[in-house]
Amino acid sequence: MTATLITNIGELTTNVERDGDPTGLLRDAAVLVEGSRIAWVGPAADAPAVVSHTTTLGTPTTGETSPVHRDSGHRRQSRGADAVSREDDGGATRVVDAGGRAVIPGFVDSHTHLVFGGDRADEFEARMTGTPYAAGGIRRTVAATRAASDEELRIRLAGFVAELHDQGTTTFEVKTGYGLSVHDEARLARLAAEVTPEVTFLGAHVVPSDYAERRDEYVDLVVGEMLRACAPHSRWIDVFCERGAFAADESRRILAAGVAHGLLPRVHGNQLGPGDGVRLAVAAGAASVDHCTYLDDADVAALAGSDTVATLLPGVEFSTRQPYPDARRLIDAGVTVALASDCNPGSSFTSSMPLMIALAVREMGMTPAEAVWAATAGGARALRRDDVGVIEPGRRADLVLLGAPTRVHLAYRPGVPLIDRVFKDGVARA
Ligand SMILES: [Zn+2]
C-alpha cells in the first residue's frame, strides 16, 4: 500500500470540532495517508517516523509571510505544482513537504447540472445589459442537449470533471434535467453515473415545451416511466419547486414517487421568490434544500429544527444579479449551511468553489472559516456523506494543498488560482 506523509502544513483545516472550533484548525500539522484513506493527523513534530524521500513544494507562491519551517535534512528544492514526488523501491513512505501551506479537505460540490449541450452566453450578455433572468431559458438547453450525441455529452462532461478537479473539488453531484423525455433523462443519468455516484434525477426541472398545455401528463410521466428509467442510475430525486416550475402539491408527489423507488429527496426552492420549497423539503426529510434566497422566519425555524441542509448557491446571484441569500441569518439560527456552485449554462456557469467562498464572505456575511466549512463538510452533509469533507483517520484522503499560508486567502485573493495540489483517494495530481 502506498503511503504519503504530508508535513510542514502551516494550517490544517480538519473539520473535526475542537475547542469550540467546528473547523478544527491545527497549526504546524502533518497528515499521513495510507492507500486511499487518512491514517493519522496531528502536530508535525509528532508525525510517525518514516523512511522516506521528500518532495519540497517550496514557499507558497502567494504567501510572502508564511511560516516555512526548514527542519528536515533530506529534501530537494522545487517549486509549486511542478514538484514531483519520488517513490523508492522498498515501499517507503513518500514525504511531501507542504512548505507552510494551508491544507483543507477537498471541496464537496453538492449541486451541479453538468450534463448538457449548447451554450447561453448570449443570454448572459443580454441579462447583464438589462434583460431579467427567466426560468424558461432552461428549455433552450433542453433542445441543445437532446440534439447532442452521447459521445458529445460525455466529452463535455469529462472536461468539466477535469475543471472541477483542477479547482480542488474532489466530490461532486450531477443532476439530470436537460433531457425531459424518458429517453433523454435516462441517458443523462447514465452519463452522469459514469463520473460520480452522486447522481440526481431532476426530470422535474421545468415542464418541457412539448407538454406546455399538458402539465399533469408531464408530472405523470416524471413519476412513472421516466422515474423507472432513471432510478437505476440515480441516488437522489430533486424537484424545482418554484413559481414557473412545479407547485407544492406536484413537488410533493414527485418526491414521494422518488422515495418509493429508493431515491433520497433534495429540493430546489425559494430561489426566485418566497415559496413552499423549504417547508416541503423539511417535511419530506430532504438532505438539502438548495438556493434559500427568499426565506421567511418560519422557513428558517423549520430548517433549524431539521436535518435538512440549506445549500446556498451564490454563483447564481452573482450571474443573475439577484440579491444574495442571508447566510448569517441561517447560521445564527443554527441551520447547517453548505455552499455549492450550481454549475449550469443558464444561471451560474462557474464550477469554482473558491469563488463561492469569496462571494459567501464578501456578500453573505459568512466568516472565511464558515465558508470553507460549508464548501467541504457542509457539502458532505448535504450529500449525507460521512467519508468526505473531514480530515481524520479513516476518512477518504481527499485533500487540497493551497498555494497560500492560510485558508483566508480563498476569499482574500478572489479569482487567483490557489489550488497547488489535489489528493483524491490518496492519489496526488498536480
Ligand atoms: Zn440547480
Closest to 288 in 3D by CA, of 342, 344, 209: 342
Cβ neighbours for 419, distance < 8 A, ≥ 6 positions apart: 166, 167, 168, 354, 400, 401, 402, 403
CA of 121 to the centre of ligand 1 (A): 18
- What pLDDT, on a 0 to 100 scale, did the predictor assign at position 131? 75
pLDDT above 90 for 91: no
181-to-186, 343, 360 alpha-carbon distances in Å:
8, 22, 36
71 pLDDT band, cuts 50/70/90, is very low
pLDDT above 50 for 230: yes
CA of 29 to the centre of ligand 1 (A): 37
Establish how many alpha carbons lie within 13 A of residue 200's alpha carbon, considering only the half-sphere containing its beta carbon.
30
**Average pLDDT over every residue of 139-161:** 97
48 pLDDT band, cuts 50/70/90, is confident
Per-residue pLDDT tens digits for 336-395: 999 999 999 999 999 999 999 999 999 999 999 999 999 999 999 999 999 999 999 999
CB 285 within 8 A of CB 308: yes
CA of 73 to the centre of ligand 1 (A): 50
CA of 340 to the centre of ligand 1 (A): 10
The cell 414527485 sits on which residue? 254
- What pLDDT, on a 0 to 100 scale, did the predictor assign at position 86? 42
CA of 111 to the centre of ligand 1 (A): 6
Rounded to 10°, the helix 138-147/182-193 angle is: 80
126-to-121, 136, 137, 223 alpha-carbon distances in Å:
9, 15, 12, 36
CA of 278 to the centre of ligand 1 (A): 15
**Average pLDDT over every residue of 76-101:** 60
- What pLDDT, on a 0 to 100 scale, did the predictor assign at position 51? 65
The cell 429540493 sits on which residue? 267
Q: Please, what is the average pLDDT of the chain?
A: 91
CA of 93 to the centre of ligand 1 (A): 42
Domains in the chain and their CATH numbers? 3-106+390-429 (2.30.40.10), 107-382 (3.20.20.140)
Closest to 339 in 3D by CA, of 306, 363, 305, 320: 363
Per-residue pLDDT tens digits for 303-334: 999 999 999 999 999 999 999 999 999 999 99
- State how beta strands 399-402 and 102-105 pair: antiparallel
Q: Calculate ∠ Cα 312-317-320, nearest 5°.
A: 145
CA of 54 to the centre of ligand 1 (A): 43
The cell 425555524 sits on which residue? 301
CA of 347 to the centre of ligand 1 (A): 9
CA of 168 to the centre of ligand 1 (A): 20
CA of 268 to the centre of ligand 1 (A): 7
CB 269 within 8 A of CB 250: no
Per-residue pLDDT tens digits for 263-318: 999 999 999 899 999 999 999 999 999 999 999 999 999 999 999 999 999 999 99
CA of 341 to the centre of ligand 1 (A): 9
Structure-block grid coordinates of residue 225: 416511466
SS (H, E, C) 306-364: CCCEEEECHHHHHHHCCCCCCHHHHHHCCCCEEECCCEECCCECCCCHHHHHHHHHHHC
Strand partners, 238: 266
CA of 338 to the centre of ligand 1 (A): 14
Structure-block grid coordinates of residue 214: 399538458
Per-residue pLDDT tens digits for 341-358: 999 999 999 999 999 999
Q: How many helices (H) and strands (E) does the chain have?
A: 15, 18
Strand partners, 204: 239
Q: List b or e across 370-401, with b for residues whose CB sees 16 or more CB atoms inside 10 angstroms.
A: bbbbbbbbbbbbbbbbeebbbbeeebbbbbbb
Output Rg (C-alpha) for the chain, integer angstroms.
22
What are the backbone dihedrals phi and psi of residue 379, each rounded to the nearest 5 degrees, phi first? Answer: -65, -40
What are the backbone dihedrals phi and psi of residue 402, each rounded to the nearest 5 degrees, phi first? Answer: -85, 145
**Average pLDDT over every residue of 220-226:** 98
Least confident of 48-52, 119-123, 279-283, 300-304: 48-52
- What pLDDT, on a 0 to 100 scale, did the predictor assign at position 75? 35
Residue 241's CB is within 10 A of a number of other CB atoms, namely: 29
CA of 44 to the centre of ligand 1 (A): 41
334-to-50, 107, 337 alpha-carbon distances in Å:
43, 22, 9
CB 17 within 8 A of CB 53: no
CA of 97 to the centre of ligand 1 (A): 39
The cell 517513490 sits on which residue? 87
CA of 98 to the centre of ligand 1 (A): 36
CA of 131 to the centre of ligand 1 (A): 21
